[in-house]
Amino acid sequence: MDIQDIKNRFGIIGGSPLLNRAIDIARQVSPTDMSVLITGQSGSGKEVFSHIIHQMSTRKHGAFIAVNCGAIPEGTIDSELFGHEKGSFTGAHEARKGYFEVANGGTIFLDEVAELPLGTQARLLRILESGEYLRVGSSKVQKTDVRIIAATNVDVYDRVKSGKFREDLYYRLNTVPLRIPALHERKEDIYLLFRKFSADFSDKYRSPGIQLEPEAIQILSNYSWPGNVRQLKNIAEQICVLESDRNVSAQALLNYIPNEQASNLPMALKSSTKEDFSERDILYKVLFDMKKDMVELKKLVAEIIQNGGNTAHIIADNPQYINQLYQDLDLPTNNSEPTLTIKHPNQNAPTDYNYAHDVEEVEESLSLVDKESDLIKKALKKHKGKRKFAAQELGISERTLYRKIKELNL
């Protein structure tokens, strides 16, 4: 059976070279009993390829069981896969066969295999190596002849390096790697799939067919499709049901495709040192830096006054320093070059007069709310009210900044 025959049999649409390569690998590995690890993004069609491998194998008349490993609680997954004896745990009122016993002579498809607990991984490795397993609560060794096809949408080797997945099991499952291309990697197939889905839904809902204008086709093809074929199918169904004009324009299509430039979710910011900081940690750091700068400024002013203004030229000759000083103190400036005026001591004053006493100590407000409000005001003023850049300056998300503005009634 060639690739086109497989497409016709299993309803696969598209002519992408990456798609054809994946089908060819599935076709070649089907007659064997080798384990296959299917990788690909969520919604890309991994389960379809597991059916191809099973239906074209010598086990096609045996059972095919698909198991979502991520949907079964950790406490019961061993019982589901391997079975249990009566009374082996609370609620085990009778003995039960597991999937590996039921599927003897057939195929088991383990979806989201990377979510398996480490204890279950050890049991699965034993089945792959010897075909033997134990029911929960039993000491009697059971035998099974099952072909295992596994699938995942994460990088399993990253889990191996982090200690969450057994390396020996990874290599056992990955005897034949099969990668399913994401939809954005096969752009030439996107419009073909949309036409197929829209035609199917038009028949299902007894509605007129859908036609896309050229600009809408271009938008459809250039979208990234993070949800892959599943997302495309959902959007085709929405358009068939909700769109009154059956000739869909680009503007109408944009109502159904999420805006990739905007995000409604707060994002945790990653620092360059790969450490995670909360908003409060960032705020404390900024406050401590500000307090340090204010202490240094007080010392500098006190030194200038103590020396009778003799060090004033150090500041006066540095306009950039003065500009920064005005910004730090949030002082108004005019269009002319900023100047800093220092009042010299009275010539008739006693020579032992301590001019440092003229420096007034102002107790700082230690309220986090006040400091937070001041920081947000300064950031907004600096970026002329643009929240996006102000949020970047503060190290928080734009959504969080908007919430803070409302909370502080700014």
Q: Identify the pLDDT of residue 265.
A: 43
Q: How many residues does the chain have?
A: 410
Q: How many CB atoms lie within 10 A of CB 316?
A: 14
CATH architecture of 3-181: 3-Layer(aba) Sandwich (3.40)
Phi, psi (deg, nearest 5) at residue 288: -65, -40
Q: What is the DSSP string of 300-344?
A: HHHHHHHTTTTTHHHHHT-HHHHHHHHHHTT----SSPP----PP
Which tokens belong to 211? 């036609």
Q: Identify the pLDDT of residue 31.
A: 95
Q: How far apart are CA 253 and CA 239, in angstroms?
A: 8
| Burial of 23 from C-beta contacts in 10 A (0-12 / 13-18 / 19+) | buried
If you search the block for the tokens 């979806």, which residue do you land on?
A: 111
- β-pairing, 211-212 vs 36-39, is unpaired
Q: Identify the pLDDT of residue 351.
A: 45
Nearest CA to 389 among 371, 376, 403, 408? 376
Phi, psi (deg, nearest 5) at residue 295: -60, -45
378-387 long-range contacts, Cβ below 8 Å, gap at least 24?
378/330, 380/410
Q: Identify the pLDDT of residue 293.
A: 75
Digitized pLDDT (tens) for each residue of the chain, 410 residues in all: 889 999 999 999 999 999 999 999 999 999 999 999 999 999 999 999 999 999 999 999 999 999 999 999 988 999 999 999 988 888 888 999 999 999 999 999 999 999 999 999 999 999 999 999 999 999 999 999 999 999 999 999 999 999 999 999 999 999 999 999 999 999 999 999 999 999 999 999 999 999 999 999 999 999 999 999 999 999 999 999 999 898 999 999 999 998 765 444 444 444 434 444 456 666 666 777 777 777 777 777 777 776 665 554 555 555 555 566 556 555 555 544 444 444 444 445 444 444 444 445 555 555 666 777 888 888 888 888 888 888 888 888 877 887 788 777 77
Q: How far apart are CA 40 and CA 367, in angstroms?
A: 51
If you search the block for the tokens 């609370």, which residue do you land on?
A: 90
Q: How far apart are CA 163 and CA 317, in angstroms?
A: 61
Q: How far apart are CA 143 and CA 409, in angstroms?
A: 69
Cα 50 from chain centroid (whole Å)? 27
Q: Cite the DSSP H helix spans in 261-318.
A: 279-306, 312-316
The residue extents of the domains of the chain are 3-181, 184-254, 279-407
Q: Which CATH class is domain 184-254?
A: mainly alpha
